[in-house]
Amino acid sequence: MITTQNSKMNLLGLNRAAMQNFFTELGEKSYRAEQALKWIHFHGVNDIHAMTNFSKTLREKISSIAEIRPPEIAFESTAPDGTHKWVIKLSDGNCVETVYIPEKTRGTLCVSSQVGCILNCDFCSTGKQGFSRNLESAEIIGQVWIAVRSLSENNGMHDHAVTNVVMMGMGEPLLNFDNVVNSMNIMLDDFCYGLSKRRVTLSTAGLVPAMNQLREISDVALAVSLHAPNDELRNVLVPINKKYPLKELMQTCKEYFKDQPRRYVTMEYVMLAGINDQPEHAKQLIALLKDVPAKVNLIPFNPFPNTIYRRSDQDTIDHFRNMLMAAHINCITRKTRGQEIDAACGQLVGQVKDRTRRIERLQKKSARATTEKI
């Protein structure tokens, strides 16, 4: 345990094993960890002195070296369809975004893992903002903590309004592997949020080595940002494909749930007009997924400023879906939610202190293009 005069350990980011170690080092019984986890995550307290089954002496001892410090809510808004977005301000001034999508039988929380994203997928607004840093565990699980507490306090919902979590917000989760896995373990812990392994989903652009590593240590659901049925197109839309091409990625997906025959990898496929939505693309996708236990989510493209892409029309999307279903591929079209507040898939931007200078480069490129036209 390392503390300094001006900093305290943030208990919010500790999983059960780390919390047990914390109390053991204090000379306390390990069961105190379960009590603390329940206070923090189930009851949503951020005051150590509110843990009333701890003695006053123990609370003071903990308070002298530790705290419960969630991120700050900088802004929040609700769309007409009930989708709610929080802009979460971090201690260094960066901001990330978290989105809650209510449905009749469940409530899904979309959580960010990085400030910005280093992968720079061509159709994604987040990627165009550049990249600053990985989120710490407390900043990731803090988004869940904020959402559960906010929904309970403001809308009268019970503590489990969040039934599903998807690591599909800002960033590539597998590039922040340890912090993301630790946070998901807290989500799954019965003393915290008690979510099922099938109700926590990690979405990746296809980092094959990290996918294999994840398979060995975590049993959460997996989604892959596919978006193209061939390498030539995917190299443009999802540049990481140049490093981990489709043949390698599909082999990993084929084996991912090989010991769990009833589980599938979700393939996310954004529908871009005239780019990846034609019948020949559907045929290529059918061939690509022939031996892969997969289901496909078709995602209508959500526009953002200065994008060159357009959303496929509904007839095109329907025809594409029908071709996949005729080939016995489980396929649905994801309903667009929260577009009015820029909370839809691919629209999250936050506030990024971009250390990649990507925004600056894009602005210069746009200025040159404008000058050439003149």
* Residue 136 annotated to the active site: no
C-alpha angle 95/221/148, rounded to 5°?
Answer: 45
Eight-state DSSP code of residue 313: P
Contact 183, 139 (CB under 8 A): no
Tally Cβ neighbours within 10 Å of residue 190.
12
61 neighbors 115 (Cβ within 8 angstroms): no
- Rounded to the nearest angstrom, the gap between the alpha carbon of residue 181 and the centroid of all alpha carbons in its chain is 12
Catalytic residue among 67, 72, 97, 331: 97
Q: How far apart are CA 269 and CA 298, in angstroms?
A: 5
- In whole angstroms, give the CA distance from residue 93 to residue 88: 10
Does the annotation count 255 as an active-site position? Answer: no
- The active-site residue out of 124, 192, 331, 345 is 345
Strand partners, 271: 300
Residues facing 311 on adjacent strands:
272
DSSP string, 80-102: TTS-EEEEEEPTTS-EEEEEEEE
Q: How many residues can be counted in the chain?
A: 374
- What's phi and psi for 311, nearest 5 deg? -75, 135
Please compute Rg for the chain using Cα positions.
22
Q: Which residues contact 197 (CB under 8 A, 6 or more apart)?
A: 188, 219, 220, 221
Q: Could you tell me which of 323, 322, 332 has the C-alpha nearest to residue 294?
A: 332
Looking at the annotation, which residues are catalytic? 97, 345
